[in-house]
Structure 1
């Protein structure tokens, strides 16, 4: 009698396991996310990956070699920045993005640069034919004489080729079409994606090969596939487009060898993705004449400051329930700031509709934009124009206090570099010495900030 294959039921959102199928995941609360997962033969998979009989020796943590991991440059500074300084030898990275975002383009440019630097590379294509990739390379005018190509979808066959070619960097395009012989389900299923990614990761760790996996995304721009896929890889980056279709933003969501939240900026041109060395200028294409509700703040993304424009529009409500909409900002934080303005700033907006927007399509997650959002709302409500040479940043507490933010001096220097002359900042962020070229207005309460706004 044939041995019954083991199965499990796994939530694709949070990775929780269940003994049977259910409509709702009790761990994360999502509906229709529990999928049946056929478990492959772990023993056979380990043998195929070269792990048969492999054991690890126990050692003291103090005896572990702390030699810095070797990194390989992609030839694209913005890409290296997001990865934490380059590709770590033996690491596995997952890059996702919507169709047409430029995932295959940026990887093709990267391996072309590495190949010209004498690094052995291999591009494994499972979705596109080699002719299509060659046509893209010709269109991008990249040198291809040292780029090795392989059209294959079986991870076992791919690893056999890797044993022969011994490349340093491998591109898997994409992980959703790969399959493992140890799993009987169809390619693209939850079980196949997990088994294939696990198989390739084991090979990469054992043979010190750097692997890039291309992943698909869902309609909400999150990576498709099981949640365990994010736990398997060392780095996870997402390539998205801004409101201006010319620009692309590469964001790090997970990185075991660098900082999380790092951003890289590119412009899509005829020759491919071109690095944007000054991303602040990309988000500061403002109108010639200042308008109420427009204010500039300085964010801290990863390891560098970024200037963005925040717009607010306050208008009288035509219906009984005023609408509050935040694009690029946290809706709940906007509601909190409006409550603080009402209680501690004397600004009543209960009968007004309020709309806020971050220009350029970037999403603001840090609290240093609180002061700019509050000032923008008041500016639009009272029809006060904020001069173009003023910036605002600072966190607002529930008692109306303006709290300090990290990296205050680099933010001021970035603003001065772009021609700003004045800055309204938290009092605790006022530099004790020089090092900047701005006229500072340190404030410790929201009412002080509003007084400064009236005097600009």
Structure 2
């Protein structure tokens, strides 16, 4: 019998070594190597090409083809029955792809996939594998959500070998694994959820999906800082990595694409957690703009670009005299380091000093703004709160602010202005590079080049 071998893999960068060492030579991190048991291979066994349904060649194929001879016909996508889910995926589920859905406990990962699986099972072969709950628990949730349960094949199992054997027999078009941290392989001695088990289990399931043209949906847990639990190499194996965000005190959930080989990255889908499960929000700008009748100082609407569409969100600023020698800078939904930089630009090029003020910033609705188009709106909201003067309710602002006080254009400026006009806004302060040749009907567009011009336009 061949002797089982082992390797030591870094949990941060995925580098492997033949023996244990305290520091990874690749990423220079300490105490990140974990032992991985390697299954003995049979000598002389040929690695034959695997071909699944629809003639899909698996990853073990050794056939060499010319690039010009590759068939360019688009692979038909499968709709997840949720338009917002399809938007984040880039148009739908791609056969033979592996999708990882992560999120904090209670975010709604299992609920979203159960709703998707039950609806898809009415016309397609779907296998739902649960490793965390019993079949009765899943059935109770489906009954509470009033989902159609006919046709959905269920399996309560954590052994990857057993799951692959059942999948070979059932031949599902969609395979759901809930969750990858509970799966284990018999050849690996570590406990489920460990680095070795997560890595090898995901690799085995992904190989099956590629070879059989099956859509693989994996549920993954996240750590306290919001990153996916398990080895970093897990994110390199899969085709799409999605993160479902939302606090326990909010009924809204945002689905954001972090990696997608078949669509745009940073695409955003919005859902509402209701009594009967997750319901997609067709018009996210409407829920993020639920403002009061009376306008308060420090409140301003900006237009951010998420993936392939503009979204209107409200940013709120609050400045107060600080009793501390080092005033606080708190930003929720925005980068705190960028806020400190913008306050320095406001002092140098706007003539407004905030060094003795505590500055609090919040993006309403729990949205995380990752782009620089919010710079100008943040500064104008800060100025409004500092001077105690409310801005016009019909005003919308976007633009990037440079260190020399210039207002730089941002991508898709025309689409942002049109979206604001649809929601009834009548005045916009935008970079001169984004000023349209003809403004939408009823919209006054003020184009500015410098921060001083934007302050005068208020």
TM-score, with normalisation over the residues of structure 1? 0.93
Mapped contact 2:246–2:252 kept (Cα < 8 A):
yes
- Is the aligned partner of 1:153 residue 2:158? yes
**Per-residue deviation, 1:56:** 1.3
- Is the aligned partner of 1:77 residue 2:75? no
Q: 1:68 to 1:27 in 2, by over 3 A?
A: same
The RMSD of aligned alpha carbons is 2.4
**1:205 paired residue among 195, 202, 210:** 210
* 1:355 matched residue in structure 2: 360
Q: 1:84 to 1:21 in 2, by over 3 A?
A: same
- Is the aligned partner of 1:107 residue 2:113? yes
**Per-residue deviation, 1:87:** 0.4
**Per-residue deviation, 1:13:** 3.2
Alignment of 1:440-455 (within 5 A): 440-453=445-458
- Is the aligned partner of 1:95 residue 2:136? no
**Per-residue deviation, 1:67:** 1.5
**Per-residue deviation, 1:285:** 2.0
Report the 3-state secondary structure (helix = DSSP H, G, I; strand = E; otherwise coil) of the residue aligned with 1:150. Answer: strand
- Is the aligned partner of 1:67 residue 2:69? no
* 1:373 matched residue in structure 2: 378
Q: 1:14 to 1:286 in 2, by over 3 A?
A: farther
In 2, distance between residues paired with 1:206 and 1:155? 16
Alignment of 1:31-430 (within 5 A): 34-41=32-39, 43=41, 55-116=61-122, 118-242=123-247, 244-430=249-435
Q: Which runs of 5+ in 2 are unaligned?
A: 51-58
Listed one character per residue, the Cα deviations across residues 46-93 of structure 1 (whole Å, up to 9, x for unaligned) are 989986995412222222221212210011111111111110011000
In 2, distance between residues paired with 1:42 and 1:143? 44
In 2, distance between residues paired with 1:49 and 1:356? 58
Q: 1:314 to 1:27 in 2, by over 3 A?
A: farther
Mapped contact 1:243–1:361 kept (Cα < 8 A):
no
Report the 3-state secondary structure (helix = DSSP H, G, I; strand = E; otherwise coil) of the residue aligned with 2:264. Answer: coil
In 1, distance between residues paired with 2:433 and 2:92? 36
278-287 vs 76-85, which deviates more? 278-287
In 2, distance between residues paired with 1:276 and 1:175? 28
In 2, distance between residues paired with 1:161 and 1:126? 15
Mapped contact 2:103–2:244 kept (Cα < 8 A):
yes
Q: 1:343 to 1:384 in 2, by over 3 A?
A: same
* 2:7 matched residue in structure 1: 7
307-316 vs 387-396, which deviates more? 307-316
Listed one character per residue, the Cα deviations across residues 382-440 of structure 1 (whole Å, up to 9, x for unaligned) are 11211111011000111111111111121112111222111001111111134454111
Listed one character per residue, the Cα deviations across residues 348-368 of structure 1 (whole Å, up to 9, x for unaligned) are 112222111111111111000
56-65 vs 275-284, which deviates more? 56-65
Q: 1:89 to 1:28 in 2, by over 3 A?
A: same
Mapped contact 2:49–2:62 kept (Cα < 8 A):
no
**Per-residue deviation, 1:39:** 3.5
